[in-house]
Amino acid sequence: MNAGVHGAVRVWLRVEGLAVLAFALWLYAEGDYSWLLFAVLFFVPDVSFAGYLGGPGVGAVVYNAAHSYVGPVALGLASLATGRAPDLALIWAAHIGFDRALGYGLKYSTGFGDTHLGRIGRPRPTEKG
């Protein structure tokens, strides 16, 4: 599968991820939240890789649920509505922005390397040449 965007659109989507990362970091710093907590939780969304133990279809659903901006936005809104700090939502959003800036996109059920930002990892044998 050669799905995904390319060219300038791919660059813009990666810059967008970098912008989300920078904004989340700025808000986190402005909130004077714990950087130790940030360091401990930053890669927690990557536990969703375990979904691939159930196959590529299950893996894609689990990974995408943990790597969509819907989750941190909902958590942030719920935090603010209940008077709690949005620190966890900011860590989660920063992680997603970081991944997007590196080119890791939402996954297709055809395999971990097939993302909305294009193929990641080694080319498949049929893609060489």
Q: Is 55 helix (H, G, I), strand (E, B) or coil?
A: coil
Taking the chain, what is the end-to-end CA distance rounded to the nearest angstrom? 15
Q: So what's the pLDDT on residue 125?
A: 64
Number of residues in the chain: 129
Half-sphere exposure in the Cβ direction for 48 (13 Å, CA) = 23
- Give dist(CA 67, CA 52) in Å, integer: 14
pLDDT tens, residue by residue, 3-59: 568 889 989 999 999 999 999 999 999 999 999 999 999 999 999 999 999 999 999
Contact 118, 105 (CB under 8 A): yes
Give the CA radius of gyration of the chain. Answer: 16
Quick: pLDDT tens for 62-109. Answer: 999 999 999 999 999 999 999 999 999 999 999 999 999 999 999 999
**CA dist., res. 50 & res. 91, Å (int):** 20
pLDDT digits (tens, 9 = 90+) for 97-129: 999 999 999 999 998 899 988 888 766 666 554
pTM of the model: 0.90
CA–CA separation, 117 and 39 (whole Å): 26
What are the tokens at 78?
């719920």
